[in-house]
Structure 1
């Protein structure tokens, strides 16, 4: 079982990687045109909002007491899984 610091570090790294993917998607969307570009930009804006929410949740998780950490981790993991699916879904739209 991974410890708290290891888990948080892993989540920070993954969040940075997804941020880079979102930036890449944004750059690719700029090369498209018309309705496709509008749709992609809406998806990307949604991903950015979710990323910002995940950054806040991770910050809250990092500052939580040991007693609250376990319960916060569960909620964080659920939101994390949803965000991960959203990133992968958006990425698949470009492939």
Structure 2
């Protein structure tokens, strides 16, 4: 159970860090030209969608039974990887 709790806490911390990064990108988008802002907003919306999906997976993980733990953990890791890729892609366009 301790390993599970540590994993959940680690994922919460990572998600909080991503949320802070999304806020930074949002602030940066506000300073961009109107044309660029539209593109940035599209990226930010994709990130927020991934963030919401990852948050949902984290909640599922927290309440998963011991029998379902491994399956739900794998789903969380897959969701996390998709979020990381989306963030990397969006960040590269903000440079």
TM-score (norm 1): 0.93
Q: Write out per-residue CA displacement over residues 11-47 of structure 1, whole angstroms, 9 at most, x where no aligned residue.
A: 0000000000000000000000122110000110111
Partners of 1:5 and 1:87 in 2: how far apart?
A: 26
* 1:14 equivalent in alignment to 2:14: yes
Give the match for residue 48 of structure 2.
48
Aligned residues: 94
Partners of 1:56 and 1:74 in 2: how far apart?
A: 14
TM superposition outliers: structure 1 runs of 4+ over 2 Å: none
- 5+ long unaligned stretches in structure 1: none
Alignment of 1:29-40 (within 5 A): 29-40=29-40
Alpha-carbon RMSD across the aligned residues, in angstroms, is: 1.2
